Amino acid sequence: MTRRIGVLAAVALTVVSGRLGAQHLLVPMDDAQQNHLRAYGLTFQAIKNGDRAEWWINYRGGSFLLPDNATTRRKAGLDGVTVQPINEAGVAAARREIAQGNMDAIPLEKAPRIAIYSPPKTPPWDDAVTLALKYAGIDYTQIWDDDVLGQDMAKYDWVHLFHEDFTGQFNKLYLGFRDAPWFIEQRDRDMATAQRHGYPNVPALKKAVANRLRDFVERGGFVFAMCGATETIELALGAHNVDIAAAFLDGTPMDPDADSKMDWTRTFAFQGVRLEMNPGVNSMSDIDGHQVNVPSRRQSLNTFTLFNFSAKFDPVNTMLVQNHRNVIADYYGVTTSFTRARLKPGVSVLATEEGTPWAKYLHGDFGKGSWTFLGGHDPEDPQHNIGAPPTDLAQRPNSPGYRLILNNVLFPAAKKKPLKT
């Protein structure tokens, strides 16, 4: 303990004394940071400008090291991001501490090309990832079904999936909102898109989109999904040779053997899932441990805990859980959590609620790429009510839940290291 205090004191001394001769800027991500969310945007912009950056995982909440230049200083000042000038002696002292602890220095090489799969006109609820990117000042391209089906997706490195129902059942919102103008507009838009691409119905369209996204990951892309998109893309991929939407859309009874016909070799995260056969129940399957969309919610909200990975042996999972808090308040979504008994072998559980049979945050590899699923709709909107105003991140610049989203934005920029065995 005495030695650690000495190292930290040396870093602090060189941060202060090195102000005039500083060559680097330390972006602390512990409680010293005034605006955690915009710190990601500052780092993203530095990488985009061609600056050499490093992510010091598990060091002061997952801090960033950037070159000291007028552009970065100016942006930090405008965005309210805390930066600390640090000279070579300070960097060397920090590197010694990193080398000896559960920490690592990860080079960030290239700003990822980001796309958000989001409808042309947003329904009456917000998207947490879109809010996070806009607030942090990170560039992205908005895409939708025409783009996924008609573009070369290799032009993107990272794709976020809006809270879409890839089974084509419109999240079963027909049960309560069939006469709402926004629902009618969404239904008619998707039906027109299906016809334009030669598909007989919306479920067939969305299944094709899901398969294109699967191909994107298999060829080396990164997909990040939250809320219902996590569950429904899995169901759409698994329903390769079975129609799991007929009962809801036209009254045709669902095939009673649908569960046994699902092909779980095609999915990212789940297997052996039981489908919700009752068309009058909003829930899609038993993936969601909380079963939010049933007549009465089965589970109340609590907290979830981020797993403490080995930074040197498991840098990717460590990057994804960087935070200044390791226990975070839970929040509902169409899919709030993931039943652990339904996970495929090899899926990494990044966060879980102690003493429960479900997880909150998952990651895994698929082909040459990878995917991450985060349960819930909005980390700062626990109840997730349709029509609620968007979260104002200017009032929550230190949100630990939103940091999980932004970890996923930056980790594709990391230089890949060979795994240690």
Do 260 and 150 lie in a common domain? yes
Answer for the pair 104, 114: CB distance below 8 angstroms, yes or no.
no
Do 153 and 20 lie in a common domain? no
> Where among 108, 128, 146 does a domain terminate?
108
> Where among 108, 142, 166 does a domain terminate?
108
Contacts of 154 (CB under 8 A, 6+ apart): 216, 219, 220, 221
Do 53 and 168 lie in a common domain? no
pLDDT tens for the chain, 421 residues long, are 433 433 443 344 344 434 445 799 999 999 999 999 999 999 999 999 999 999 999 999 999 999 999 999 999 999 999 999 999 999 999 999 999 999 999 999 999 999 999 988 766 457 899 999 999 999 999 999 999 999 999 999 999 998 888 987 876 666 666 777 777 778 888 888 899 999 998 889 999 999 999 999 999 999 999 999 999 999 999 998 888 876 656 666 777 888 889 999 999 999 999 988 777 777 889 999 888 766 555 667 899 999 999 999 999 999 999 999 999 999 988 899 999 999 999 999 999 998 999 999 999 999 999 999 999 999 998 876 666 788 999 999 999 999 999 999 999 999 665 444 3
Structural domain span for residue 166:
114-297+332-390
Do 61 and 125 lie in a common domain? no
Return the residue matching tokens 């979830």: 304
Q: Tell me if 125 is assigned to some domain.
A: yes
Do 120 and 174 lie in a common domain? yes
Do 123 and 176 lie in a common domain? yes
Do 104 and 217 lie in a common domain? no
Alpha helices in 64-219 (DSSP H): 70-79, 88-100, 128-136, 145-150, 174-177, 181-196, 202-218
Q: What is the CATH number of the domain that holds 139?
A: 3.40.50
Cα torsion 340, 330, 224, 104: sign? negative
- pLDDT score for 421: 37
- pLDDT score for 16: 43
**What is the number of domains present in the chain?**
2
- pLDDT score for 10: 37
SS3 161: strand
Do 133 and 276 lie in a common domain? yes
- pLDDT score for 209: 96
- pLDDT score for 4: 43
Q: Which residues pair with 105 in a beta bridge?
A: 56
Q: Tell me if 319 is assigned to some domain.
A: no
What global pTM score does this model have? 0.90
Q: Tell me if 420 is assigned to some domain.
A: no
Q: Tell me if 310 is assigned to some domain.
A: no
Do 64 and 174 lie in a common domain? no
Pairing outcome for strands 358-366 and 369-374: antiparallel
SS3 125: coil
- pLDDT score for 5: 39
Do 378 and 230 lie in a common domain? yes
Could you give the C-alpha distances from 118 to 125, 193, 221, 234, in angstroms and in order? Answer: 12, 14, 18, 18
CA gap 47, 54 in Å, rounded: 10
Do 290 and 248 lie in a common domain? yes
- pLDDT score for 310: 97
- In terms of Cα–Cα distance, which of 101, 147, 132 is closest to 378? 132
> Where among 108, 129, 163 does a domain terminate?
108
Do 95 and 134 lie in a common domain? no
CA gap 272, 264 in Å, rounded: 7
